[in-house]
Amino acid sequence: MNKDIKKKWNTEYAKKIAKIEGIKMNKNHWKIINFTRNFYIQFKIIPSIRILLTAINQNWKHKIDSLTLINLFSTNPILKISKISGIPYPKKCI
């Protein structure tokens, strides 16, 4: 894993990218962004939507689905989540 992932990313960076993507961040957005970053740092893989949802639903009391991600991040949520969280983009985004 590239150790720079922890150094270069910060919340100001995330806010700028979110604004460019037309996303007004709230606590639900931040929970998903932080979860995704931690997932990537821990497992060294870029999660697909299916993997991300499975991991979230195994760890959170409140369950979410793909429609929730679409409502929060608009079209192509995993790409936007990757951009905002400062992790590499998945090779295949649906």
Active centre residues (catalytic): 93
Instruction: Count CA atoms within 13 Å of residue 86 on its CB side.
Output: 20
Q: Where are the beta strands (DSSP E) in 3-83?
A: none
- The answer to whether the beta carbons of residues 40 and 84 sit under 8 Å apart is no
Instruction: Give a three-class secondary structure readout of 48-60.
Output: CHHHHHHHHHHHC
